[in-house]
Amino acid sequence: MTTANLLEFDLEGLAAFCEKLGEKKFRATQLFRWIHQRGASDFAQMTDLAKSLREKLAGTARVEALPVLSRHESADGTIKWLFDVGDGNAVEAVFIPEDDRGTLCVSSQAGCAVGCRFCSTGHQGFSRNLTAGEIVAQLWFAEHFLRKHLKRDERVISNVVMMGMGEPLQNYSALVPALRTMLDDNAYGLSRRRVTVSTSGVVPMMDRLGTDCPVALAVSLHAPNDALRDDLVPLNRKYPIAELLDACRRYLAHAPRDFITFEYCMLDGVNDQPEHAQQLIELVRPRGGQGGVSCKFNLIPFNPFPASGLLRSPQPRVLAFAKALSEAGIVTTVRKTRGDDIDAACGQLAGDVKDRTRAAERMAQRRLTEHTVAMHPARRAAAAPDVQEH
């Protein structure tokens, strides 16, 4: 008989499940606490539940984590897990310890269909969406593993960022119940300010998230104009920058923070010039009766991988770029690279997916096309013999 994995349910869903078993709703709260606060997976351990309920659960339900294929620990304390999600697919989650917080970077999809040029996940292609339970399972496993590993009784993970593999807002139906479990005081009790969803700009879903479950928002901007962003972030062709910024302004009416974080990956000679910084300033500052966007910029050192054909901006150029934004009154930080010795840094999560989108093939074809266009006609004409026309 098929049993339900209780990690799939937020508290409302678990209450409905308990009602089907003929149990009162308050039993769901007790069960929820056992699963998420105490990390229990054996119903026999849940001693304040009636024996009759425990017997029902044993026959109809389970609490099942994702199998761990590997664990790597960086010299800086960062830990990366590779989780098996079945059918030859694996996803990665990363724990980043800092003095004042512990952050878990969580995946929402096996692969990613957006195909940003600078992201190794996008070059892996896309296989499928994760379920709500598979998203929550990354937090459930990491939190309770770390408590044992670090010999701590209190909560270890204080922040969750949906910045792992995948575009979270393209898996909206699973994302929202997973977020609700993270925020629930009977589970992990995370603050809305400490749970961040990162998006490449799925405008309609940004609006829905602002209504359904507003948490902190990070937008992968990476370019100051549509022509460049069309190339770096293909989703921009559907939702160009003006539409994206309008959605950011609407989101701020609901957001737990009074700013949007713009992620900006620094690419050598591509988007890191002084004129790019000036264009960004013009994008977000108020002008001509148009309200600006309350924001901060997070400049991200690019983590090169061969298939991208891109290089990291030199550090002096990154700092000069940050200075230009800061002097314009925009809060700007440069992300410290963590876990790059175990390929756990930003943009490096690739996991292992069965690509249903043939992304590698399409990107290789695009690079070939770009090379051909670059050679024709100007460069090819320059290389040809000089022929006088009559």
Q: Tell me the average pLDDT across 293-314.
A: 92
Is 346 catalytic? The answer is yes
Catalytic residue among 23, 92, 143, 167: 92
Tell me the CA distances in angstroms from 92 to 66, 135, 197, one per residue in order.
Answer: 11, 11, 16
Domain 4-62: CATH class, spelled out: mainly alpha
> Mean of the per-residue pLDDT values for the chain?
89
pLDDT for the residue 150 = 87
Is 23 catalytic? The answer is no
Banded model confidence at residue 343, pLDDT cuts 50, 70, 90: low
Q: Is 220 helix (H, G, I), strand (E, B) or coil?
A: strand
Q: Which positions ≥6 away from 54 have C-beta within 8 Å?
A: 43, 44, 46
- Is the per-residue pLDDT at 384 higher than 80? no
Beta-strand ranges (E) seen in 267-366 are: 295-301, 331-334
If one compares 65 and 152, the residue with the highest pLDDT of the two is 65
The percentage of the chain sitting over the pLDDT mark of 70, rounded to a whole number, equals: 85
- Is the per-residue pLDDT at 341 higher than 90? no
Domain boundaries, the chain: 4-62, 68-369
The tokens of 18 are what?
Answer: 């308990």
- Is the per-residue pLDDT at 389 higher than 50? no
Instruction: Residue 235: name the closest of 98, 114, 149, 86 by CA.
Output: 114
CATH number, domain 68-369: 3.20.20.70
Answer whether the bond into residue 385 is a cis peptide, omega within 30°. no
Q: Tell me the average pLDDT across 212-230.
A: 98
Provide the whole-model pTM.
Answer: 0.88
If one compares 348 and 28, the residue with the highest pLDDT of the two is 28
pLDDT for the residue 286 = 82
pLDDT for the residue 386 = 39
- Is the per-residue pLDDT at 289 higher than 70? no
If one compares 5 and 362, the residue with the highest pLDDT of the two is 5
